[in-house]
Structure 1
Amino acid sequence: MSTIVEDGRRARGDASRRLVVNHAADIASVEGLDGLTIGRLAEASGMSKSSVAALFGGKEGLQLATVAAAAEVFTADVVEPARAEPRGVRRIATMLRRVLDYSRERVFSGGCFFMATAADVDSKPGPVRDAVQGHLRTWYGYLEAQLRHAVEAGQLALDPEGVEQLAFELISLNNEANGRSLLMRSDRPYALAARAIRERLIAAGADPADLAPLDQAADAASRPRA
């Protein structure tokens, strides 16, 4: 009986944590991680301050849990769907279309959670900056790994330095679309970025037939919102 009661409490605690970090990630995407407070999250989630504090052990614990939750969302929305495609240019195009959609569709109210929070913590050493940096290193590294595989498969014509350079440019185009869209309240930057990404991949040797996901991203961003 005690095990059942303990399991029930753990399940309720996990559900409460998920509820709070979902609110926290959305707030942080707009106001940065420093905008998170126990009181603010208690109000947003309908819980007491003491309950929120007990779940995370303080503001830093809350920030770290929020970063981890946002990373799970990013992986589920961007990386995992692309893995349904074979490794190579088609997977790269799908992944880059997904990352543009993740921002354009406002999975988080402030667009890309990690672009918002990186600007918030980039000059503040500590565990929270390390967590944000760790996710971005993983994302950048994964994109580079996919580009290297495409080179090895003969789908792209790049040397090692060229892979790093192309990965930097592709991520920069996505980041610029995210920032400009938020500032200008327009989807057009996503269409421009999708076309520019497509052209960079073609210049690197990609077969245009493998880049249909980027054409779809540009078309989606060009249509008026309902």
Structure 2
Amino acid sequence: MAGARQDGRVERGNRTRQLVLAHAAAVASVEGLEGLSLGRLATELRLSKSGVFALFGSKEELQLATVRTAVAVYDEHVVRPVRAVPAGLGRVRELYERWIAYSERRVFPGGCFFYAAIAEFDAREGAVHDAVVAAQAGWVAFVERRIEEARVLGEIREDCDVPQLAFEIIAFLELANGDSVLRDSSEGYTRAARAILGRLRAVATDASSLPGTA
């Protein structure tokens, strides 16, 4: 019986933690990670402040856990669906289309969580900065691997500068996200998709395998 009670407490604690972190990620995407506080989240979610403090212990731990939660959400909406598509140019197209959908549908109410976090922590030091850097580095590496797969398959020219192309794709996507959030417009997504498709056509071994316009 004692074990069952303990398991019940652990399960309730896990549910509460997930609830707090989902709300924290949504808030941080709009107001930044520095806008988070344990007391605020407890009040907004009508939870015990002492209980929320017990789950995290410090603001920094809350911020780190929020970044990890955002990574998991990003994986769900972008990374895993891309991995489900066969390697090649089709997978590269799926990558930018999934990213645009993730941003445009406001999975996070402030647009891309990491676009906001990078702007907030790029010039800082510390554990949260390092967590954001690691998340961004993982995404850049993921994009580069998808391009490299297409190059190895012969769908992208052998002389393609893979890191440069990945940089350009990510830059177009991030600019579209920022423009959309700032102006409440979807025009940037259309322009980003068109620009990325143009770059892919320029490096494809068979440009006719890609649509002419986005």
TM over 0.5: yes
Please report the RMSD computed on the Cα atoms of aligned residues, expressed in angstroms: 1.7
Q: TM-score, normalized by length of structure 1? A: 0.90
Amino acid across the alignment from 2:165: L
Match of 2:120? 120
- Deviation by residue 1:67-103 (Cα, 9 ceiling, x = unmatched): 0000000000001111221011111111110111111
Task: Specify whether residues 157 and 31 from structure 1 end up closer, same or farther in structure 2 by C-alpha distance, changes over 3 A only.
Answer: same
Specify every segment of 5 or more residues in structure 1 that has no aligned partner in the other structure, as ranges. 219-226
- Deviation by residue 1:96-146 (Cα, 9 ceiling, x = unmatched): 101111111100110000010111111111111111111110010011011
Match of 2:88? 88
Task: Specify whether residues 32 and 158 from structure 1 end up closer, same or farther in structure 2 by C-alpha distance, changes over 3 A only.
Answer: farther
Specify every segment of 5 or more residues in structure 2 that has no aligned partner in the other structure, as ranges. none
Q: TM-score, normalized by length of structure 2? A: 0.95
Match of 2:7? 7
Query: Does the residue aligned with 2:86 lie in a helix, a strand or coil?
Result: coil
- CA apart distance, 1:199: 0.7
Task: Specify whether residues 86 and 117 from structure 1 end up closer, same or farther in structure 2 by C-alpha distance, changes over 3 A only.
Answer: same
Match of 1:186? 185
Task: Specify whether residues 47 and 157 from structure 1 end up closer, same or farther in structure 2 by C-alpha distance, changes over 3 A only.
Answer: same
Q: What is the aligned length?
A: 214
Task: Specify whether residues 210 and 46 from structure 1 end up closer, same or farther in structure 2 by C-alpha distance, changes over 3 A only.
Answer: farther
Identity of aligned residues (%): 46
Aligned-partner Cα distance in 1 for 2:206–2:94: 14
Query: Does the residue aligned with 1:3 lie in a helix, a strand or coil?
Result: helix
Amino acid across the alignment from 2:75: T
- CA apart distance, 1:48: 2.1
The 8 Å contact of residues 112 and 178 in structure 1, kept in 2 or not, is answered as yes
Q: Stretches of 4+ moved more than 2 A in 1?
A: 206-212
